Amino acid sequence: MARPCAVVGIGQTKYKRQLPVTLDGLVREAALQALEDANLTFADIDAVVIGKAPDALEGVVMPELSLADALGAVGKPIHRVHTAGSVGASTAISAAVLVESGRYDTVLTVTYEKQSEGNATWALSGGRSGGQGAGGTFAPWIREYIRRSKAPEHIGWKVAVKDRLNALKNPNAHLHLEDISIEKVKESPMLWDPIHFLESCPSSDGAAAMVLTSEDKVSRSPNKPAWVLGHAKRTEFSTFPGRDTIRIQAGLDCAEALYKKVGITDPRKQIDAAELYVPFSWYEPMWLEGHLIAEEGEGWKMTDEGATEIGGDFPVNCSGGVLSSNPIGASGMIRCLEAANQVRGTAGDYQVDGAKVALGHAYGGAAQYFAMWIVSSELQPDFT
Amino acid sequence: MAQLPDIDFTLEYPYTRTTGPIIGPFLTGLRDGRILGTRVGDRVICPPLEYDPADGSTVGPENLVEVGPAGTVEGWTWVAEPTSKHPFDRPFAFAQIRLDGADTTMLHAVDAGSIDNMSTGMRVVVRFNDERVGSVTDVYFVPGEDAPDAPSVDADAEPVGIMEHLIGVRIREPLQPFRKRFLEGLLQKKIIGQRSPADGKVHVPSRGYDAINRVPMTEDDDVEVSGRGTVTSYTEITPIQYHGQTETEPYIRCSVLLDGADTTIGGVDIRDIPIEEFKVGMRLQIVWRDDISFDDEDNRAYGLNESVYERWERTGEPDVDPDLVKEHNF
């Protein structure tokens, strides 16, 4: 039987382009902030779990080796996780598992990306896939979602505006687009039809960190814990005969397993805030459906009705989301730690009033890796 | 028939590195003729770090101290046959050098002339190259203790804040047999897939195994499929100008489910069907190039090699209902 685990410390750098720090300095800033939040030092940490997207993004091969000392891991185990864009959430889950299993009491987990030191579109294709880029892969699926669901075209624009307005409340967010509007989004250049420039995530630098600890050690840290109620990861191949890339089996399975573990029977009612990995605007309704929060074909209606705004009944990406900050390797962990911020009551101006249960989610590769967790202010929340 | 060579390509990119509060001054020092370490407790660390490697505590630039210029070799290896990546075109030593005033060693190159001149415990001293840019390769070491002449320094030069870092890797591997048969088929204007012995589905191009049923596929499973098919997915790309980008105008990349296949070929390049007419369900056929050859084979591509076709053209058949190909929209 796994033992309870909680987030007791959170650290984030500002998410910008060309942060004037080394990779050592970048990960240390987030890690030291998380330790300070937890009222701990490197000496209190039993193991370090680090994650980032492909090494080709910065051209530093096996950075977990050169960053180990910078993260105080001398004489301690360091693990490196890699699951493409979902890696930040997978890393958080790996850290939680190390605590839940009883192997380590207190784990520091750190993820980062410094996109300004390389080029993601180049790196993700290994320099030889016709320059299609991530948007080029997802655009046809978005078009197919629109065709199947009959969603009106303004849904994507609406998500793009909502997440950028939320980002104005988040001092760490990369994009602070004061004058964002539906008009601006739809008049921005079409990058990969139907994805406009302003419906796409930025290319960011930044690091995110958390300290996770076991139930008996939670009281060492003064600030409110976020209990990790459950998590799930699922994977499928990028291409195979019969793959449905819109309603993705691994995504459905991942959500189903997670809700079952936590005891959630009606996610829309029982989850107070969600941080979903939405690098292109249309992925908000696509994941609402793809993770069983909305019925098939109904996700876009939640967006359209304002249900996903702060103040709506299912707020999504109150922090501004991936659309406002995308240090790729960290982006999934940011979803997980912003979920924790919501239930700890530390989300500042983008706090959802009284949030008790929050969902963090990421996907990666050709929408083939999924990692999700649910955190709560209570170890055993009443879902009835 | 043209010969199929093994795979051989070079992947390279000009990355940048932000040098930060400690490595920046260290590199600036090498450019300006001095070697810096950091005082950390009762030790001096060189090359310096932003933190104490023992416990991770922060070490700021106020702790920078000058070390050297001479030092002691604590370990070494002889490079008898230097490559183009090495700092010298003649045999030399890589050595762990503990500079005078430092408590840790720095790995660097010693231009010793002969292996007979190298020994653990020997004294070496730094030399500054005439051309220095703020890089660890601005200096090298020679046997002895004679301090170098003070190099000429540009007093107005900016501190080193960002450095360029070109990284390249050359990849060579043999073509896998299934891939070789696929590419040889293309040379004969045939598209060869593999039919899974487990469920009968035809994979084009094949990976050499059925990933869903986890069974290998052999030459006996090879089948030819049609050069005609249905568009299952497409992207209109407005090119982003990154390093190495050669595209300037919008173009289409689509996936085509060839008749007789159960997987799509991806990345099909469309230049001359108007974007506004393009849609899922459209019927296309390949127009082969007369003289087919390859220059960039690999084992993993999920499309046809672009060099085999002139273009894809509409067959004139009616469109297929998109619902019938929705399982193939990768």
pLDDT digits (tens, 9 = 90+) for B10-23: 777 889 999 999 99
Please tell me whether the peptide bond between A20 and the residue prior to it is cis, using omega within 30 degrees of 0: no
Q: Which of A188, A170, A153 is nearest to A275 (CA)?
A: A170
According to the model, what pLDDT value does residue B251 have? 86
Radius of gyration, alpha carbons of chain A: 19
What is the Cα–Cα distance from B59 to B39, expressed in whole angstroms? 8
Per the rule left: phi > 0, alpha: psi between -120 and 50, beta: everything else, B143 is: beta
Say if residue B240's pLDDT is above 80. no
Q: Which residues are within 8 A (CB) of A189 and not within 5 positions of it... i.e. 6 or more apart?
A: A196, A197, B238
Provide DSSP, A231-286: EEEEE--S--TT--SSS-HHHHHHHHHHHHHHT-S-HHHH-SEEE---SBTTHHHH
In A115-204 the beta strands, taken as DSSP E runs, fall at: 190-192, 195-196
How far, in Å, CA of A124 to CA of A115, rounded? 12
Q: Residue ranges per domain, chain B? A: 20-160, 175-328
Q: What is the pLDDT of residue B297?
A: 66
β partners of residue A206: A113
Q: What pLDDT is recorded for position A127?
A: 52
Is residue B25 within 8 Å of residue B36, measured between CB atoms? yes
Q: Which regions of chain A are under pLDDT 70? A: 1, 121-122, 124-132
CB of B234 within 8 Å of a chain A CB? The answer is yes
Of B50, B165, B330, the CB nearest to A22: B50
Confirm if B32 and B58 have CB atoms less than 8 A apart.
Answer: no
- Mind telling me how many Å the CA of B203 is from chain A's nearest CA? 8
- Give which of A261, A290, A260 is closest to A274, Cα–Cα: A290
Residue B292: pLDDT above 90?
Answer: no
Mean pLDDT within B231-254:
79
Point out the least confidently predicted range of A70-79, B219-228, B303-312: B303-312
- Cβ distance B302 to A114 less than 8 Å, yes or no, reads no
Q: Do B245 and A137 touch (CB under 8 A)?
A: no
- pLDDT value, residue B146: 92
Q: What is the CA radius of gyration of chain B?
A: 30
H or E segment and range at residue A363: strand A357-364
Q: In the CATH scheme, what architecture does the domain B20-160 have?
A: Beta Barrel (2.40)
Q: Which of A288-297, A369-378, B36-45, B209-218 has the lowest mean pLDDT?
A: B209-218
B5 and chain A in contact, CB less than 8 A: no
Domains of chain A: 5-120+203-220 (3.40.47.10)
CB-based contact, B245 to chain A, within 8 Å: yes
Question: What span, in angstroms and rounded, lies between the C-alpha atoms of A85 and A124?
Answer: 10
Which residue in chain A has the smallest CA separation from B244? A127
Chain A residues with CB under 8 Å of B330 CB are 238-239, 243, 245, 366
Residues of A with Cβ-Cβ distance to B11 under 8 angstroms? 126-128
Q: Rounded to 5 degrees, what are φ and ψ at B121?
A: 95, -10
The SS3 of residue A317 is: coil
Rounded Cα–Cα distance for residues B2 and B188 (Å)? 10
Q: Any idea of the CA torsion for B135, B158, B51, B129, to the nearest 10 degrees?
A: 20
Question: Scanning the structure block, which residue is given the tokens 């001293």?
Answer: B125
Q: Are B235 and A69 inside 8 Å of each other by CB?
A: no
Residue entry with tokens 């009612």: A269
- B227, B285 Cβ separation under 8 angstroms: yes
- CA–CA dist A366, A137 (Å, integer): 7
pLDDT at B1: 46
Contact A335, A370 (CB under 8 A): no
Which pLDDT does position A126 carry in this prediction?
56
pLDDT band at B165 (very low <50, low <70, confident <90, very high): confident
The pLDDT, as a whole number, for residue A1 is: 58
**pLDDT tens profile B75-126:** 999 999 999 889 999 999 999 999 999 999 999 999 999 999 999 999 999 9
Asked if A30 and A74 count as a contact pair (C-beta separation under 8 A), the reply is no
Which residue type, as a one-letter code, is found at position A202?
P
Give residue-wise pLDDT tens across range B249-286.
Answer: 788 989 999 999 999 998 888 988 988 899 999 999 99
Identify the pLDDT of residue A19: 81
Identify all chain A residues contacting B13, using CB atoms and an 8 Å cutoff.
56, 59, 118-119, 122-123, 127
How far is the C-alpha of A271 from the C-alpha of A339, rounded, in Å? 10
SS3 A184: helix
Tell me the C-alpha distance between A52 and A207, whole Å: 10
Would the CB atoms of B263 and A240 count as touching at under 8 Å?
A: yes
